[in-house]
Structure formats: C-alpha cells, structure tokens
Amino acid sequence: MNTKLSITLIAFLLFGGTFYFFAKSSSESPINKTVPQQDEGLSVEAFTKKVSTKEKIVLVYFHADWCVPCIKLKPIIDQIEKEQSKVVEILELDVDENPKIAIHFEINALPLFMIYKDGKKVWDHNAFLTKDELLGRINLYKVQ
C-alpha cells in the first residue's frame, strides 16, 4: 500500500472517529436537554407587601450582576444598610432573578432606585448615586 494513502486513511479514521465521538457526546449534553422553568422571583403582590411597611421607609435597589455601576454600588448599599437600619429597609432586587418585577416596572436601565414611604412610591432615580446623595434622599423621607 502507498505510504501517502496509508497516512490519509489513518488520519481519516482517527479524525472521523473523533468527530463522531464528539458529535454523539454533544447531542447527549445537558445543553440539549429540557431545562425546567426557572423561578420567576418575587411576584408583584409580594413586592407590594414588602414595600408597605409603616415603621421604616423602603429603599428598593434594582441591579444585575453584569451591571458595572451596580457592582460599584454594592459596598455603598451594604454600608447604608448597616448605618441606617433603624430608619430604612433596603430591598435589593436582581432584575435577572425577578423578571416579573422588571417587566412590571418596565426597567430598561440600571441601577434603579425607588423609595417607598407608607407603601407609596415617593421617589425614583435611574443612575449611579454617591453614598451622600442616597443618604440625602433617605433623610428627606425617613419616618419621624
């Protein structure tokens, strides 16, 4: 048998077999299987209940893991939550984990802040804010 033909035949068998193996494996991969419906997060009714407190104002913070300003805001939100726990309750909502709420509020940009007092939205803001700016808003609406 010709050496060139032998090498070609061996290469075909090796690569053809490898291709068949990967093609067969990929058709059985979890990617091609039906994935159960993911949890749709907080319902609009549950959201309304959470922001209806009379004891504190509620700062709602809509964010996402992929949002760079949101990532920068995380330590600020954590500080405010610790420092202002007597006057404000912070409700952090990831829009990817709470699609019903994101659709309900027609959220198309992040970060988004809302302040609720006595169950009513009294303020919203759609952009990055400094800690001082957020505290200024909280102080305007805090329950006396």
What are the backbone angles phi and psi of residue 122, rounded to the nearest 5°? -110, -10
The SS3 assignment for 47 reads helix
Q: Is 28 a catalytic site residue? A: no
Return left, alpha or beta for 106; rule: phi > 0 is left, psi -120 to 50 is alpha, else beta: left
Asked if the peptide bond before residue 111 counts as cis, ω within 30 degrees of 0, the response is yes
Q: How many residues does the chain have?
A: 144
Q: Which residue in 67, 88, 115, 134 is the catalytic one?
A: 67
50 alpha-carbon distance from chain centroid:
19
What are the backbone angles phi and psi of residue 113, rounded to the nearest 5°? -115, 145
Q: Is 70 a catalytic site residue? A: yes
Q: Which residue in 57, 70, 73, 138 is the catalytic one?
A: 70
Query: Which residue is associated with the tokens 């949101």?
Result: 70
- Positions annotated as catalytic residues are 67, 70
